[in-house]
Chain A
Amino acid sequence: MQELAFRPLLRQAALIVLGALILLWTLLPLYHMLILSLTPVGEGFAGKLWPDAPTLDNYRIVLTQDNYYLSRFWLQLGNSVLVAFTSCVIVFACSLTASFAITRLRPRFAGFASHLALVTYLVPATFLAIPFYQVMGSYGLLGSRWALIITIATFATPYAIWVLQQNAGSVPRELDEAAEIDGASPWQIFRLVYLPLMVPTIVAVGAFAVMLSWNEYLYAFLLLSDEDRITLPVMLGQFLSDDSAPWPLLMVSGVLYSLPPAILYFLARRYMAAGLAAGSVKG
C-alpha cells in the first residue's frame, strides 16, 4: 500500500527535477544575454548571476544610438526588416505559383519540378556560398542588399514549395472543377480559389521565410560590407574578437534583435505546426 502511494510521488518529483533541468539548459544562455544587457558598461564580465547595479541605461544608449559602435543601430535593424520583408514577397511570388502549377494543373513535368525544389531544399546553403558569391559578382550585385534578398529567397522558396505542395490537398479539387466549368481561367482559379483557401499555410511559409532571413549570417557577412547596408547580425559579428567592445550594449542589440522572431513564432505557432510536420525548416 505504502509503496503504491509512494511511487507516483517519486515519479512526480523526478518529473519536476527533469523539467527544471530542461529549463535551466534552455534558458541559461538567454538569461545570460538579458543580464549582460542590464550590466553597466565597464562593470560587466564578472560572470555573476545578477549584476550588482542593474540598469536600463544600456537600452537608452542603443535606442538613441548614443555610442560609436551602435551609431547605425536603427539603419541596420531597418536593413534586416527590409531584407526579411522583400525576400518574403519574392518567396511568395515564386512558391505560390509553382505549387499551384505542380498540384493543381498537374503537368507531365510536375514531378520533375517538385523534385528540383526538394533537392535544392535539402542541400545546405553553406555549400553554395563560394559559387554564389562569384555569381553575384558576375551579376554586379555584390554589396547590394538585393544580393542578400535574392539569396534568402532562393533558399526559402524550395521549402515553401514543399510545404505548400503538402498542404494543397486541403483545397478540394471539386472547387477547381466547378470554377473551370463556369469558365474561369487557371489564373482566376489561382487567385480566387487556391490563394484564399491556402491562407493558413501561406502564413506558416511567410513566418518561416522571415525567421530564416532574420537568422542569416554567413551570406549577409559575405555579400554586404558597407556599414549602411549591413544587417544587424553582421554588425554584431564584427565585434567577435574585440574584447574591448561594449558587450552590454551589443547584448542589448541582441535582445532586441531576438524579440521579433520569438514573438512571430508564438503568434504563428498554430500554423507553423503543420509546416513542421511537413518536413522542417532548414537548421
Chain B
Amino acid sequence: MTLSGAALLQANSSRKWLGSGRPLLSFKEKWALFFLMPFATMFVAFVSYPILYALFLATDRSAYTRVIADPIYARTLWNTFLFIVIGVMLKMLLALGLSSFFVLPGRAIRIIAALFILPWAVPHIPSILSIRWMLNSEWGMINNLLFQMFGIDGPAWLTNPSFGMASIITVHIWKYLPFWTMILVAARLGIPKELYESARIDGAGSMQQFRYVTFPAIANVFLTSTMLTTIWSLGDFNSIYLLTGGGPMERTNTLATMGIRYAFRHADFQAGIVTLMSALPILVPLVIVLTRRLRRNADA
C-alpha cells in the first residue's frame, strides 16, 4: 500500500507537461482519491452497474403490459399501501408511546429495556419460523391459549385471507418496534432537564409537558425515523415471504415479494424490475428528502 502511495507521488511530479499553474488536484486530493479507491471500486462494480442493468431490463415495453394485465398486480399495490400506511403508523405511534415508559428512571426499567431490544438483535429467520408455528391454527400456541382462556377457536392467522395482512403487520412491528423505540428514547434523553422544570413551574401537567416540551424537541428525529422506516418497510421481504409467502390468495404480497417472485419463480426478470419500480414514486422523493435532512443534521 505504501509502495503504491509512493508511486502515486512520483506520477505527480512527472506530470509537469500538463502546464504550469495550479495542478488539477492538490497533494491531499490525490491522496484522497487513493483512499477512496476501495469504496469507489465497490460502488461502481456493485451499485452503479446493477442499477444500470436494472434500467436496461426496464426498457422492455412488453413487461409493463404483462405486469399491469396481471390481476394480482392491483391487489399487490393495495397490499403494499396497507402494509406501509398501517404498519408504519402503528409502529411509530407505539414507539412514541413506549418511549415514555423507557425514559422513566429505575433499574427494573433498564432491565426491561435490555430485553425489549432482543427481537431486533435476534436474526429474522429463527424468530419468524417460531412465530409461524405459534400462529398455526391447529397446533399453534396462540390458538391453544385462546381456547384455554376464553374457550374460543382462534382463526387460521396465516391462511385466512382476512387475517394474513394483520398477522404480517404484527410480526413486522414485533421485529422493528424495539429499534425505533430506542431511537426515540435516545432523542428524549437528550432533552435538557431545565425545560421540564420550568414547564412544571408554569403549572404544566404531564400531558402538557409532552405536548409543549417533549414532542417539539424530538419532532425532527420522529419525522426522520418515520421516513426511514417507510423506506425500509417497502423493502421488508423476510416478514412476508417467511410467514405467508404472499398468500393466502395473494392477499399479503407487496411489491417487494411480488418483484422477487416474478424474477425467481417465473424467471421473468423484466416483470420483476417493473414491479419493483412501482415503488419509485415513493422511494425516490423520500431518499432525496432524507439525504438532505440527514446531511443537514450531521453538519449542524
Mark A residues whose CB is within 8 Å of B: 15, 18-19, 22-23, 25-30, 32-33, 36, 44-49, 93-95, 97-98, 100-102, 105-110, 113-120, 122-135, 139, 150-151, 153-154, 157, 161-162, 165-166, 185-187, 190, 211, 214-215, 217-218, 222, 233, 236-237, 240-241, 247, 250-251, 253-255, 257-258, 261-262, 265-266, 273, 276-277, 279-283
List, sorted by A's number, 29 A–B pairs whose CB atoms are closer than 8 Å: A19-B109, A23-B112, A23-B115, A29-B119, A29-B131, A44-B139, A47-B140, A47-B145, A93-B38, A117-B39, A118-B291, A122-B231, A122-B287, A124-B235, A129-B237, A130-B54, A132-B50, A139-B45, A186-B28, A187-B1, A187-B5, A211-B121, A214-B123, A218-B238, A218-B241, A241-B245, A250-B129, A254-B127, A257-B123
* Contact A123 B294, beta carbon cutoff 8 Å: no
Inside 8 A of A154's CB, which chain B residues have their CB? 42, 46-47
Cross-interface CB contact of B141 among A49, A98, A117, cutoff 8 Å: A49
Which residues of chain B come closer than 8 Å to A93, judged between CB atoms?
38
Q: Does any Cβ of A come within 8 Å of B263's Cβ?
A: yes
Q: B298 near A: Cβ within 8 Å?
A: yes
Tell me whether B236 is interfacial, beta carbon within 8 Å.
Answer: yes
A261 to B119, CA, bound (A): 11
Q: What CA separation (Å) do A128 and B5 show in the bound complex?
A: 34
B202 located at the interface, meaning its Cβ lies under 8 Å from any Cβ of chain A in the complex: no
In contact, A98 and B235 (Cβ under 8 angstroms): no
Query: Using Cβ atoms and an 8 Å threshold, which residues of chain A touch B117?
Result: 265
Q: Which of B10-35 contact A (CB under 8 A)?
A: 25-26, 28-29, 31-35
> Binding site of B, secondary structure by majority: helix, strand, loop or mixed?
helix
Neighbour of A33 across the interface among B57, B127, B294, CB < 8 A: B127
List A contacts of B45 (CB < 8 A): 139
Query: When the two chains form their complex, are residues B50 and A101 in contact, meaning their CB atoms are under 8 A apart?
Result: no
Indicate whether B69 reaches chain A with its CB closer than 8 angstroms: no
Q: Which residues on the B side are within 8 Å of A44 (C-beta)?
A: 139
B108 pairs with A47, CB closer than 8 A: no
Q: In the complex, which residue of chain B has the Cβ closest to the Cβ of A274?
A: B186
Collect the chain B residues with CB atoms within 8 Å of residue A18's CB.
101
CA distance A22 to B231 in the complex (A): 26
Judge whether B38 and A98 touch: CB under 8 Å: yes
Min CB–CB distance B272 → chain A (angstroms): 5
A127 touches B174 (CB 8 A): no
Given contacts A47-B140, A185-B5, contact A95 B39 (CB under 8 A): yes
A240 to B31, CA, bound (A): 51
Contact of B123 among A45, A117, A150, A258 (CB under 8 A): A258
If A108-B29, A215-B123, A277-B183 are given as contacts, then 13 extra A-B residue pairs at C-beta distance below 8 Å, sorted by A number, are A19-B108, A30-B127, A32-B131, A33-B126, A98-B38, A107-B29, A122-B228, A128-B47, A132-B46, A134-B53, A154-B42, A218-B237, A218-B260
* Interface of chain A: mostly helix, strand, loop or mixed: helix
Q: Given A123-B283, A126-B256: A254 and B126 within 8 A (CB)? A: yes
Question: With A119-B291, A186-B28, A222-B264 known to touch, is A130 a contact of B269 (CB < 8 Å)?
Answer: yes
Q: Is the CB of A22 within 8 A of B101?
A: yes
Partner of B133, one of A36, A126, A211: A36
A184 to B: closest C-beta gap in Å: 12
> B122 contacts which of A25, A186, A237, A261 (Cβ < 8 Å)?
A261
Residues of B within 8 A of A107 (CB): 25-26, 28-29, 32-33
Residues from chain B with Cβ under 8 Å of A47 in the complex:
134, 136, 139-145
**Is A258 within 8 A of B122, CB to CB?**
yes
- On whether A29 and B287 interact (CB within 8 A), knowing A117-B39, A262-B121, the answer reads no
Give the residues in chain A near B112, CB-CB below 8 Å: 19, 22-23
Chain A residues whose C-beta falls within 8 Å of the C-beta of B129 in the assembled complex:
33, 236, 240, 250-251, 254
Docked pose: A69 CA to B145 CA in angstroms: 30
Scoring A186, A222, A251 by chain B CB atoms within 10 A of each residue's CB, the highest score goes to: A186
Which of A105, A130, A218, A281 counts the most chain B CB atoms within 10 A?
A130
- Kindly list chain B residues whose C-beta atoms are within 8 Å of the C-beta of A33: 126-127, 129-130
Which B residues are CB-close (under 8 A) to A19?
101, 108-109, 112
- Asked, given contacts A26-B116, A254-B130, whether A46 binds B42 with beta carbons under 8 Å apart, the answer is no
Contact of A127 among B141, B183, B276 (CB under 8 A): B276
